[in-house]
Chains A and B, each alone.
Chain A
Amino acid sequence: MKEGTVEKQSTEAKVLAKYGLHSLSCFYSNKNEPLLRRATRVSKLIFENTILPVYQEKRVYPGAGWYPALPTDDPKKIGMGVSYTGHYRFNPVTAWKFANELDDEFDKHIITRIINDLTVFTSVPCTMRYRHGGVHKVSNYQRVLAEGFEGYKKRIIRLKKKAKGLEQDVFYEAMLECIDSIIALCRRLLGYLKKIKLHKQDDPILDNLIKALEQSPVKPARTFYQALLATQFTMCLTSFEPGRIDKYLYPYFKKDCEEGRISIHEADQLLEEFLSNINNLGGVKHMTLGGTDENGRPVYNELTSLLIKLSGKIKQPNTSLLVRKDMPDKLWDIAMENLKNGRGNPAIINEELYLKGLKETVGVTNEDTADLAFGGCTETLIQGKTMTDSTWTAYNLPDILNQSINNYFIHLKSFSEFYKSFKNDIRLTVKEMTSQINLWQHHFALYFPLPINTLFTDDCLERAIGFSAGGCRYNFDIVDIFGAINVINSLHTIKLIFDNKLNISRPQLLKMLNDNFRNFDKEYIQIKQINKYGNDNDEINNLAKDLLGFVFDEIKKYRCWRGNGYFLPAVIGWTSYIRQGKHVEATPDGRLKAEPLSDSIGAVSETESKGLTALLLSAASIPQASALGTCILNIRIDGGAFAGPDGNSNLKALFKTYFELGGQQIQVNAVDTKMLEAALKEPKKYTDLVVRVAGFTDYFINQNDKIKAEIILRTAHKAN
């Protein structure tokens, strides 16, 4: 066990090392250094000591289940550690227990100070009202393939020579150490494989693997296989989100094909192995296919077809298909076959709307829009060039509305007065929310330097600024709006009450909401029966357009602290739409206390009756172009409805029309209710049933009971 390279250790480092806390000890070895420098020392220590993943006669090595870790660190036992990425592993309960049991008063004092440091590092300066999510990122694989890690090293040396001042000098020193230790890790992997080779003479898979890894990722990739391995390796170090894989791997595939090195069948097998690595890892990852390249030309190639087909076989990564007007019918058909057969992938994306929005409203260059990709559920980013907080922010609209109802409902005379007051509340709370998020961003920048992401995301190196401190070319923060549809329906109810169109008075409604509709059976039925969003009703559509347009615009008034970036409004929901409903009392749309909020911009379960075209028209009334963080539309169709000879073309016409009307994204569940109900009863028989949840796909049986019930309740659209 090497104890890092620094010989003169700090007091903290010595104490920590004494108790076997090696990553933290390394992190504290020189307290006078900036945190980024301290983090790269930890990366180096871990890369030098991590146990290498076992070779299992698979071509795509190392498998995605591998996160480098320090074998001697045991955060479960002591609850403290630092990972190679610069993230802290901290369990306060375990850590305090450990500290309190120490006999040595000096050591106890030091450890207590460190626990307090970790508490500061990991605290989130944002109230529960607005806090949420995490970070999604896609590395610049294209650059890794073209330059190789040695190219990165050369670039860092070149930049270091031009460094201005001590701070930049230390930044490049840290980055240099980081890339060096990554290169060393590649060599260790290669050494390990060569050792195995001594015992496995007749293993062509191993021979090819060694041959490929001798070139890439340390040197630029030359073949498709090398490029795929380099992507896999870089993914293991960063995020496991592959981004626009059919775009950046295609040149290698094409060259191999032309030179007779690879067949389409071999590429298919390699990609399947690659994707199943991600699938086996779990979590929420995203692959983005198709779309436009740097020259404005379409990216619809052989890999696109293969990957769309493969995306139908797995739950992860989530797959999005960037649709242009000139997308070939063949790809439409492949995608439609997946969807009709109950595979949640791919989601269908209106690329044009994003390209326009990215260029016109958030300053992405024309060239960079060609790297539009998604992370996680459907969080917008420019691959390899963006830090995107994935819905760090949750804006719970029904929570705001209920407070407005309590404040104004009785005193005001008309709906328009009430609506105005509600909008004022939105204005105030959005401002408060963005201030809190910006404080959080500042905090994150100070305490989470994230060296690996800094290395692999442009332009952190050129700017000598860390990934979390604003070094990336683009910085986005996706603001996820929860319960939007509940609020639209609620406002419609409130308007009818103000206009005396229901036999319900205002005090009565307040009472009903406070009582969670208990003892108001007739009124509750009446409220449930009011026309709701999703049925293409002009009045409700206008309300949706006006309200969400207003919320989007308010959010966009503010800029992010990090890199003067942008808040991108979104309606996603993930699985949090259930949690976000838990603290919200009954709402005037008939939603009961603590029930889930609406997910995506689809209709609330059991409230639509006019069919799919009406739902799409309702959804298109929302000014989606203004919400670049993505408005997800989840629909459930009865696969049989599209089984006939016109099936694909009808489904395609639905998507195309939705996009023409301003729709951004649509994702489909095509499973019949009977099958879902059978899966509820006999989960063992339906272990492979994949469903779209809220922005991501997963196995049906993995969902908790509430989500299962929600999915079953979503109206399945039959054709008439």
Chain B
Amino acid sequence: MFSQKENKGLIFDIQRFCVHDGPDIRTTVFFKGCPLNCLWCHNPEGISPRPEIGLKNNLCIGCGNCQRTCANKVHNFTDAGHLIDRKNCIGCGACVKSCIGKALSIAGKYVSADDALKEVLRDITFYKNSGGGMTVSGGEPLFQPAFLVELLQKAKSIGLNCCVETSGMAEQKIFTEILQYVDLFLYDFKETNDVLHKKYTGVSNKKIIENLRYIISNGARVRLRCPIIPGFNDRDDHFQGIAEIRRELNSLEEVELLPYNPLGLNKYERFEINLNHLEISKIPDGNNKKIWTEKLNNYIGGAS
């Protein structure tokens, strides 16, 4: 399990003015660390549970400040360019501060719940007027349960609307604990076929489906979000699977199909995350989403 530093949580971003992570205008806190390893992950810097250095090669001016600053000598300038010895990097972030061109960045910073909340609350007037609030996303927020509970508890105590975006992969008792604070779950469902689920994400979907049933039976508001990746899970049997869940759990607020989004691709390069197993040749467009949605609605309607 994840190690926590002095009651602090590890996050890789706090992004303001989000209008797609739950209803209305929201600020999203991205937790770092995830038990899944989805082939199509668009926040790959959220997977590892430790801080990582990112490098934008096009901004590096080769000043060498990072090399001089780093205690572990992980920055090297060779004929192949600026290289980072990631094994020995402890993610202290000293090099990022010294970087003149802002080519270096750090994904992963330990923050207290109070500090994270302080940043979230900067936009409080916008939440009041729009109905929005805070969304906790990741990585997997439930991967850092103590920090998550503290953050949600504090947010709720001042009346903030809270969404949690989750893969569903966590111990049931964590869900039990956070249910009281969460206004809406954005719950991922990635693959119906468990063999393929293991292949694509590294874990079984059994616990995920169990947890979904559990929170719904305990009155949680849930929007099911299904990433659709061409060539992977855009299959009829998966749409049928989603439709079955939709019919079984009729208090689900909504089922949303999320077509694969390639925007995260350059992050793989920046953080040198291996992507050789991911070959998505087809980028979906608006038309794909329409066809998929129609298909899903047919399956849902056809059997009811």
Residues of A within 8 A of B (CB): 521-522, 525-526, 529, 536, 610-614, 617, 641-642, 644, 646, 649-650, 653-654, 656-657, 660-661, 717, 719-720
Contact = CB atoms under 8 A, between A and B. Distances in A.
Closest 5 CB pairs of A and B: A653-B130, A611-B17, A719-B19, A720-B18, A653-B129
B28 A654 contact: no
A644 B256 CA distance: 13
B130 A650 contact: yes
Contacts of B123: 613-614, 617
A434 B28 CA distance: 49
Contacts of B102: 529
Given A646-B23, A646-B24, A719-B20, A617 B101 contact: no
B19 A522 contact: no
A653 B126 contact: yes
Given A657-B125, A657-B129, A610 B19 contact: no
Contact of A650 (B25, B28, B61): B25
Contact of B25 (A525, A526, A613, A614): A613
A522 B61 contact: yes
Contact of A522 (B17, B20, B100, B130): B100
Interface string B96-111: 0000111000000000
B100 A720 contact: no
Contact of B126 (A521, A649, A657): A657
B21 A720 contact: yes
Contacts of A649: 24, 130
Nearest to A653: B130
A341 B126 CA distance: 23
B142 to A, nearest CB: 22
26 contacts: A521-B61, A522-B63, A526-B100, A529-B100, A529-B101, A529-B102, A611-B16, A613-B122, A614-B123, A617-B123, A644-B20, A646-B19, A646-B23, A646-B24, A650-B130, A653-B126, A653-B129, A653-B131, A654-B25, A654-B126, A654-B130, A660-B129, A719-B19, A720-B15, A720-B17, A720-B18
B128 to A, nearest CB: 8
A481 B276 CA distance: 55
Nearest to A717: B17
A582 to B, nearest CB: 30
Given A611-B16, A613-B17, A720-B15, 19 more contacts: A522-B100, A611-B15, A611-B17, A613-B122, A613-B123, A617-B122, A642-B19, A644-B19, A644-B20, A649-B24, A649-B130, A653-B126, A653-B129, A653-B130, A653-B131, A656-B129, A719-B18, A720-B18, A720-B21
B238 to A, nearest CB: 25
A717 B18 CA distance: 11
Contacts of A656: 129
B100 A525 contact: yes
Given A529-B100, A660-B129, A719 B122 contact: no
Given A611-B16, A613-B16, A650 B100 contact: no
A650 B122 contact: no
A566 to B, nearest CB: 31
A719 B17 contact: yes
With most chain B CB atoms within 10 A of its CB, the pick from A536, A612, A649, A650 is A650
B265 to A, nearest CB: 17
Contacts of B100: 522, 525-526, 529
A720 B126 contact: no
B51 to A, nearest CB: 20
Contacts of A654: 25, 126, 130
B17 A612 contact: yes
A103 B84 CA distance: 87
Chain A interface helix/strand/loop/mixed: helix
A681 B130 CA distance: 39
Nearest to B63: A522
Contacts of A660: 125, 129
Interface in B108-144: 122-123, 125-126, 128-132
B130 A720 contact: no
Contacts of B16: 610-611, 613-614, 720
B133 to A, nearest CB: 12
Contacts of B130: 649-650, 653-654, 657
Contacts of B25: 613, 650, 653-654
Nearest to A523: B100
A642 B19 CA distance: 9
A611 B100 CA distance: 23
A646 B15 CA distance: 19
Contacts of A644: 19-20
Interface in B228-260: none
Nearest to B23: A646
B24 A653 contact: yes
With most chain A CB atoms within 10 A of its CB, the pick from B17, B21, B23, B122 is B17
Contacts of B132: 653
Nearest to B125: A657
Given A525-B100, A525-B101, A653-B130, A720 B125 contact: no
A719 B15 CA distance: 10
A184 to B, nearest CB: 56
A654 B25 CA distance: 9
Contacts of B17: 611-614, 717, 719-720
A521 B28 CA distance: 36
Contacts of A611: 15-17
B126 A613 contact: yes
A31 to B, nearest CB: 64
A522 B25 CA distance: 38
Contacts of B126: 613, 653-654, 657
A536 B24 contact: no
Nearest to B61: A525
Contact of A720 (B20, B24, B122, B128): B20
A650 B18 CA distance: 10
Interface string B128-165: 11111000000000000000000000000000000000
Nearest to B17: A611
Contacts of A657: 125-126, 128-130
Contacts of A536: 122
Nearest to B130: A653
Nearest to B26: A720
Interface in B44-72: 61, 63
Given A525-B61, A657-B125, A650 B20 contact: no
B266 to A, nearest CB: 16
A720 B100 CA distance: 27
B183 to A, nearest CB: 16
A510 B102 CA distance: 24
Nearest to B59: A525
